[in-house]
Amino acid sequence: MESLYIIKIGGNIVDNPTLLATCLQSFAKVKGQAILVHGGGKMATSLAESMGLEQTLVEGRRITDEATLKIVTMVYAGYINKNIVAQLQALGVNAMGLSGVDGNLIQAHKRKHNSINYGFVGDIDTVNTHLLLQLISTNTKLVVAPITHDNKGQLLNTNADTIAQSLATALASKFKVHLIYGFEKEGVLKDINDPSSVIAKMDKLIYGTLKDQKLIYEGMIPKIDNSFEALDKGVTSVIIGKAEKMNELMNGTSGTTITN
């Protein structure tokens, strides 16, 4: 079975031109099939705050009111997505940028929660696997922005980590899928202030213990939750680590390997 790499990069990477360029150079060298999923939280947050819109995150997930939805759509599905595609084209990669709205790639529903109103945040219902397979068959490398829709005309902001996991699980029966969460740190850390405190391997027991002890940085929770769900649904491997070390992450010599 052919391998497929699904690589997610976050806002801290996207906002740093040097780090982004390094990541895209590594992505461009991936042999075979690959999909890049990007966030853009820092840029969207800065723009929102410059417009006087207060931003709130709950366990790493953004509360999205109507005004914020417009901003994240412009930033994620617009500037960031097309900037990444343009840079990949310059590196000789036939890349195509799209969001969950395009080609009905990802349908979602507005999140329902007993105590928190997340606003226009989407939880994923379906992934258009047929479309993905069609595009992948043309040797096109996809760049996916985390904006989805509800098939009723409503845009929704969806966590990019969840987007990456959903694409990975949708394709797990067709490929040996390797899911990589690339961000600015070396991996999952026991101590957020100590870069050397990388946890080389993490299973559910270790995760539960560290989470109970409040030793897991809040922004890491969606990544780790999605990592375990991906493995449970047939994804071959999941690694979390420093985005600039993409080659090392792909061969398992860096970062945190998530295991069942």
> How many domains does the chain fold into?
1
Burial class (CB in 10 A: 0-12, 13-18, 19+), 90: exposed
**What's the confidence (pLDDT) of residue 41?**
66
> What does the pLDDT look like over 139-169, one tens digit per residue?
999 999 999 999 999 999 998 999 999 999 9
For residue 176, the domain's CATH number is: 3.40.1160.10
> What does the pLDDT look like over 173-225, one tens digit per residue?
999 999 999 988 899 988 888 888 899 999 999 999 988 888 887 778 888 99
Residue 129, H or E segment:
helix 129-137
**What's the confidence (pLDDT) of residue 61?**
67
Residue-number span of the structural domain to which 153 is assigned: 3-258
**What's the confidence (pLDDT) of residue 190?**
85
Tokens of 100: 């969950």
**What's the confidence (pLDDT) of residue 114?**
80
Q: Buried b / exposed e across 158-193, counting CB within 10 Å, b at 16+?
A: bbbbbbbbbbbbbbbeebebbbbbbbebbbbbeeee
Instruction: Determine contact, residues 43/160, Cβ cutoff 8 Å.
Output: no
> What does the pLDDT look like over 26-71, one tens digit per residue?
999 988 899 999 988 678 888 888 888 877 777 666 788 899 899 9
